[in-house]
């Protein structure tokens, strides 16, 4: 795109590393602004002299950009690419500008400059720490209508995107010998040393460019060149090596067990028009032999009155904007510091032509050489003095300075301020690795102490500040890591020459003079959560003495920046108020993620159709063609019912139910779990696993089996067929297949390892077609070869092997409907062919296909239980009315002892019964509770619940199964089912509604 370059008033000619010719533009709150390629949104806004970028969370105070990196607490913007691509709460300091980017300020209404919510700032005496906990307590009734809606609308920053995420994300597992987190001088040095050995290395850095502190620190030289340039060369050299993977724009966000580290690579977030096949972000799940943590340090703010006014930045950040982006943060800049590093920033700014009226240093005697350097440039150094307040509202306009301990105040007009209270080592990754930090009292900082995982910290995050010492430490660590993971490393020959880069001295934690206890000022500790020094003191005074409690009560450090700036200040103020030493108060634990990670990256491919696999049966397409409506059963799609023209579900199910009992129906039972149990001891094994006896089951016979857990409760059921002396075909419930196999394997491997038995899951090998109804034999007979279907040769509960439609079959004469019928097992590949052939004949005979709903109704008419519907894990075979399936003469089976427990043999247990609605119409609700008296006092005693309930078209009446206390002894009694609008009267009956004698199955 070509367009006239727009003036950017704070851009300093000749400064920075961006190319003036590479103009681009973006939008901020609807206004089009110029920028340079390589700018962040923050640097571009400052270049346009915009500092006011948002409103604070609680008080809605005007807020500006504070930092130049991922620690930014204030400058959170909505970033939009197009209507579907809007992400809230993006740090302006890390988002690179691309042509067409639209940024929007947040937490303000109606506009950034005029925000109604600002009333909270005036009302702040009523919004102290723990405000929500104290205010929204009573009356209880006010919660739903008043408090909750208020809190919900006030809570949270930014607006969630309204459209489905159109982007795709990528996920990659990686293994390496050495993972290096951080690409500053320490990380690069360690990588160079480790890479020489031939070890496999991954080095990542969250920024676009490697070099870390060299973004701002232009003084030191490495191998004779300036640090930033050296870093680019080092990264390029590493990238060219086969054994090194170099990842920029990649944040290590989580450090998990066994050196498992999560990285997120922002692949196209900085690109104007990303290629459609590129992922937005890539998740790296890295398993590293060794991890070298080289995450540097983060500068802290000074805690003084109104330290949150837009235009007040960290000194290092101002230096980054100048030296990397070529942008001055103001034209007249005041400096407030407790640390040497701010002097370098002041000197760079002054040399770039910016007015620096004064450096205010809380220290009595700062380094005389630095003072002399500053003064030589005409910068006044006010040592032993403090900034008591910043002036201005939507932009800092002055700083009030006074001697510490009293004295007259002078007001110095400024249009920006920079500050430094010293540097906090980034121990986030170390702490996440479960390492224990130790306190370095001399420098007021926590450093890595006791390591738990195989990792090492180098450089500023390890408290090493002098550049020469950093490089030495990093080279040693890189070499040692490579040696540890690569037994025979190549000779290490990396030497790095360092000039300059002496450590900066001085620091301060806690409130600065002027914001100490007793002063009613807003000196912010945590910008993002609006926590002031006063709030932390108040929390301690109110009895919160553990730092974990102080954190939760004040919300200090709980925002998305995770207290990167605020933790040390908050801790120091709490310790001071408690009168304790800092190590006694302790540091809160760092947790993943280090910076926010998008849901898209975490969810990655697991959405839509890929969220969970879908399982379909071999006959699925034929069922689709028949117009089946499907239901989800676990991962399975099962045909639920087959509506014909004009039919709703009710009508279709009624027709299917009648057709099966009158003529014939076909059902897809392929989802049933199937396990082949083979071996000389197969019968003995099943004898132990099932409650039923199995030793004497004849070859070619079927048996309905109940399986219990050791506690005596029903675990699963199914039909078992004996194919040969040493071979059984076991079926399980659809949902129970994996756990039944696991249960069997468990006993076989660990309790009965002497049994010679093999278990194989064959669920997906067999397609199962049930043909049920009076005409079942007539339908099946013409297709069968080698099997005599007569009642004499193949009676109910027997099976035979042979052929159907020319393919092998295990043909089982069995019934889950109460009608005569078959379950035809054929190899899965032939399932559809056999289904289609049978269906043609079923249809010609006036039959139909029926789905799971009809199957449920028909089996309920017969009182056959469904494990998991009519049982709930506390139901014994006796409770379920299948006590006959427990072998009375057996010496052992799984559950034999549990079934004898006193509470399992006690009277009054809930037992399976049938229920009839007395009005003959009302279908009960499954799960409904049952009571004995119609008008019992509330709450009435509930004596059971409805487990299955349907309309039975065959009976012209509703039917239900229920578990009721002492149910078997209450046949004929009247009970009640209270519903919200009525009470239904029901009569207990035996749980069999159709063909109680069971003659039909033998037809």
Partner 1 sequence: MLLIHCPYCDEERPELEFAHAGEAHLVRPANMADMTDEEFASYFFYRENTKGVAFERWRHVHGCGRFFNAARDTVSDKFLKTYKVGEPKPKIAAAAPKKTQAAS
The token pair at 945 is 């619940």
> What φ, ψ does residue 24 adopt, rounded to 5°?
-145, 180
- Smallest distance from the beta carbon of 552 to partner 1, in angstroms? 24
| Rounded Cα gap, residues 856 and 816, in angstroms | 9
Residues 880-909: x where in contact with partner 1 by CB under 8 A, - otherwise, as a string? -----------xx---xxx-xxx-------
Q: Which helix (H) or strand (E) holds 341?
A: helix 341-351
| Rounded Cα gap, residues 131 and 377, in angstroms | 49
Residues 217-256: x where in contact with partner 1 by CB under 8 A, - otherwise, as a string? ---------------------------------------x
Contact region for partner 1 (CB under 8 A) — 45-53, 134-142, 455-463, 642-650? 455-463
| Rounded Cα gap, residues 291 and 770, in angstroms | 59
The token pair at 247 is 């990842």
- Smallest distance from the beta carbon of 142 to partner 1, in angstroms? 43
Q: What is the largest CA-CA distance in the chain?
A: 116
**Residue 260 is a binding residue for partner 1 (CB under 8 A):** yes
CB contact at 8 A, 81 and 101: yes
Name residues whose C-beta falls within 8 Å of residue 951's C-beta, 6 or more positions apart in sequence: 650, 654, 857, 923, 957, 958, 959
| Rounded Cα gap, residues 642 and 915, in angstroms | 28
How far from 662 is each of 775, 835, 879, CA to CA, in Å?
9, 21, 32
Among 6, 22, 159, 749, contact with partner 1 (rule: CB under 8 A)? 749
Q: Which of residues 607-646 bind partner 1 (CB under 8 A)?
A: none
**Residue 136 is a binding residue for partner 1 (CB under 8 A):** no
53 closest CA partner among 71, 41, 37: 41
| Rounded Cα gap, residues 131 and 133, in angstroms | 6
CB-nearer residue toward partner 1: 3 or 173: 173
| Rounded Cα gap, residues 880 and 896, in angstroms | 16
| Rounded Cα gap, residues 864 and 880, in angstroms | 9
- Smallest distance from the beta carbon of 447 to partner 1, in angstroms? 8
| DSSP symbol at 959 | E
Contact region for partner 1 (CB under 8 A) — 71-79, 139-147, 308-316, 450-458? 450-458
Name residues whose C-beta falls within 8 Å of residue 623's C-beta, 6 or more positions apart in sequence: 617, 630, 639, 642, 668, 849
- Smallest distance from the beta carbon of 425 to partner 1, in angstroms? 11
- The partner residues of 299 in beta bridges, in order of sequence, read 423
- Smallest distance from the beta carbon of 755 to partner 1, in angstroms? 13
Among 746, 785, 840, 919, contact with partner 1 (rule: CB under 8 A)? 746
Residues 462-491: x where in contact with partner 1 by CB under 8 A, - otherwise, as a string? x----------x--xx--x-----------
Among 450, 493, 907, 937, contact with partner 1 (rule: CB under 8 A)? 450
- Smallest distance from the beta carbon of 464 to partner 1, in angstroms? 9
- Smallest distance from the beta carbon of 256 to partner 1, in angstroms? 7
**Residue 257 is a binding residue for partner 1 (CB under 8 A):** yes
CB-nearer residue toward partner 1: 254 or 851: 254
CB-nearer residue toward partner 1: 233 or 476: 476
- CB-based burial of residue 898 (10 Å sphere; 0-12 exposed, 13-18 middle, 19+ buried)? middle
Q: What DSSP line would sit under 98-163, residue for residue?
A: -TT-EEE--S-SB-SSSBGGGHHHHTGGGS-TTHHHHHTTS-TTHIIIIIHHHHHHHSSSS---SS
Contact region for partner 1 (CB under 8 A) — 126-134, 451-459, 485-493, 517-525? 451-459
- Smallest distance from the beta carbon of 471 to partner 1, in angstroms? 13
Residues 298-337: x where in contact with partner 1 by CB under 8 A, - otherwise, as a string? ----------------------------------------
Among 745, 781, 840, 933, contact with partner 1 (rule: CB under 8 A)? 745
CB-nearer residue toward partner 1: 186 or 838: 186
- Smallest distance from the beta carbon of 592 to partner 1, in angstroms? 13
812 closest CA partner among 823, 801, 827, 828: 823
- Smallest distance from the beta carbon of 258 to partner 1, in angstroms? 5
Q: Which of residues 705-744 bind partner 1 (CB under 8 A)?
A: 710-711, 742
| Rounded Cα gap, residues 34 and 28, in angstroms | 10
| Rounded Cα gap, residues 721 and 831, in angstroms | 20
Number of residues that bind partner 1 (CB under 8 A): 37
Tell me which residues touch partner 1 (CB under 8 A).
Answer: 256-258, 260, 285, 287, 434, 436, 448, 450-452, 456-458, 462, 473, 476-477, 480, 710-711, 742, 745-746, 749-751, 753, 891-892, 896-898, 900-902
């Amino acid at each position: 795109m070509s367009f006239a370059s727009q003036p950017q008033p704070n851009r300093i000619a000749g400064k920075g590393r961006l190319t003036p010719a590479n103009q681009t533009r973006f939008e901020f709150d609807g206004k089009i602004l110029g920028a340079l390629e390589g700018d962040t949104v923050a640097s571009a806004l400052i270049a346009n002299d915009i500092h006011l970028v948002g409103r604070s969370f609680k008080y809605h105070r005007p807020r500006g950009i504070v930092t130049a990196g991922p620690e930014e607490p204030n400058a959170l913007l909505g970033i939009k690419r197009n209507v579907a691509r809007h992400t809230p709460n993006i740090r302006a300091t890390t988002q690179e500008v691309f042509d067409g980017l639209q940024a929007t300020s947040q937490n303000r209404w109606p506009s950034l400059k005029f925000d109604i919510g600002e009333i909270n700032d005036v009302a702040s005496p009523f919004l102290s720490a723990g405000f929500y906990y104290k205010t929204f307590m009573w009356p209880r009734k006010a919660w739903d209508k008043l408090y909750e809606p208020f809190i919900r609308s006030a809570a949270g920053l930014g607006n969630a995107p309204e459209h489905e995420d159109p982007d795709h994300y990528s996920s990659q597992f990686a293994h390496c010998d050495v993972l290096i987190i951080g690409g500053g001088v320490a990380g690069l040095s360690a990588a160079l040393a480790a890479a020489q050995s031939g070890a496999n290395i991954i080095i990542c850095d969250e920024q676009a460019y490697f070099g870390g502190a060299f973004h701002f620190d232009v003084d030191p030289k490495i191998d004779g060149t300036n640090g930033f340039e050296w870093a680019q060369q080092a990264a390029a050299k590493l990238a060219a090596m086969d054994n090194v993977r170099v990842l920029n724009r990649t944040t290590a966000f989580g450090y998990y067990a066994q050196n498992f580290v999560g990285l997120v690579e922002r692949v196209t977030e900085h690109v104007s028009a990303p290629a459609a096949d590129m992922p937005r972000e890539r998740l790296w799940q890295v398993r590293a032999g060794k991890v070298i943590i080289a995450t540097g340090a983060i500068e802290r703010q000074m805690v003084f009155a109104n330290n949150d006014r837009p235009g007040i930045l960290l000194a290092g950040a101002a230096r980054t904007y100048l030296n990397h982006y070529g942008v001055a943060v103001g034209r007249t800049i005041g400096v407030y510091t407790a640390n040497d590093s701010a002097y370098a920033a002041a000197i760079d700014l002054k040399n770039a032509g910016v007015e620096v009226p004064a450096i205010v240093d809380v220290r009595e005697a700062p380094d005389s050489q630095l003072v002399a350097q500053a003064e030589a440039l005409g910068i006044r150094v006010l040592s032993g003095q403090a900034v008591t307040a910043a002036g201005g509202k939507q932009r800092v306009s002055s700083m009030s300075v006074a001697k510490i301990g009293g004295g007259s105040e002078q007001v110095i007009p400024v249009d920006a301020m920079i500050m430094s209270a010293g540097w906090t080592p980034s121990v986030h990754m170390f702490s996440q690795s479960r390492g224990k930090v130790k306190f370095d009292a001399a420098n007021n900082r926590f450093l890595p102490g006791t390591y738990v995982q195989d990792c090492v910290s180098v450089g500023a995050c390890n408290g090493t500040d002098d550049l020469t010492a950093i490089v030495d430490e990093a080279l040693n660590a890189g070499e040692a890591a490579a040696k540890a993971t690569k037994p025979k490393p190549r000779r290490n020959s990396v030497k790095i020459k360092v000039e300059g880069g002496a450590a900066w001295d001085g620091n301060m934690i806690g409130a600065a003079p002027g914001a100490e206890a007793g002063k009613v000022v807003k000196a912010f500790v945590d910008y993002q959560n609006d926590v002031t020094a006063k709030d932390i003191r108040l929390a301690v005074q109110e009895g919160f003495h553990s730092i974990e409690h102080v954190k939760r009560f004040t919300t200090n450090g709980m925002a998305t920046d995770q207290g990167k700036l605020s933790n040390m200040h908050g801790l120091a103020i709490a310790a001071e108020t408690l009168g304790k030493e800092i190590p006694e108060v302790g540091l809160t634990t760092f947790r993943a993620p280090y910076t926010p990670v998008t849901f898209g990256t975490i969810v990655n491919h697991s959405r839509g159709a890929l969220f969970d696999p879908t399982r379909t049966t071999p006959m699925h397409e034929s069922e689709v063609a028949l117009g089946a409506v499907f239901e989800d059963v676990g991962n399975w799609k099962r045909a639920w019912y087959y509506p014909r023209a004009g039919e709703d579900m009710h009508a279709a199910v009624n027709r299917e139910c009648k057709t099966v009992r009158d003529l014939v129906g076909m059902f897809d039972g392929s989802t049933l779990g199937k396990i082949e149990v083979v071996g000389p001891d197969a019968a003995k094994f099943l004898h132990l696993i099932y409650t039923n006896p199995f030793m004497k089951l004849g070859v070619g016979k079927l048996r309905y089996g109940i399986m219990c857990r050791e506690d005596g409760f029903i675990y699963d059921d199914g039909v078992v067929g004996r194919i040969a002396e040493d071979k059984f075909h076991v079926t399980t419930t659809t949902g129970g297949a994996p756990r039944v196999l696991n249960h069997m394997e468990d006993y076989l491997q660990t309790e009965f390892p002497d049994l010679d038995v093999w278990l194989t899951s064959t669920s997906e090998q067999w397609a199962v077609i049930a043909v049920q109804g009076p005409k079942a034999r007539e339908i099946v007979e013409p297709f069968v070869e080698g099997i005599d279907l007569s009642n004499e040769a193949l009676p109910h509960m027997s099976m035979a092997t042979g052929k159907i439609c020319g393919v092998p079959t295990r043909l089982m004469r069995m019934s889950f409907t109460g009608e005569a019928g078959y379950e035809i097992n054929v190899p899965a590949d032939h399932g559809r062919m056999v289904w289609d052939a049978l269906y043609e004949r079923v249809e010609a005979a006036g039959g139909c296909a029926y789905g799971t709903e009809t199957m449920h109704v028909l089996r309920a008419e017969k009182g056959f239980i469904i494990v998991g519907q009519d049982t709930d894990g506390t139901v014994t075979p006796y409770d379920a009315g299948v006590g006959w399936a427990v072998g009375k003469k057996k010496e052992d089976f799984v559950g034999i002892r549990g079934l004898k427990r006193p509470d399992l043999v006690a009277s009054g247990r809930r037992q399976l019964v049938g229920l009839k609605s007395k009005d003959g119409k009302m279908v009960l609700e499954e799960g409904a509770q049952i009571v004995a008296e119609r008008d019992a006092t509330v709450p009435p005693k509930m004596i059971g619940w409805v487990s299955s309930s349907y309309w039975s078209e065959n009976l012209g009446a509703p039917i239900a199964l229920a578990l009721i206390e002492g149910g078997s002894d209450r046949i004929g009694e009247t009970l009640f089912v209270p519903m919200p609008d009525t009470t239904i009267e029901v009569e207990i009956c035996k749980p069999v509604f159709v063909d109680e004698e069971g003659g039909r199955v033998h037809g």
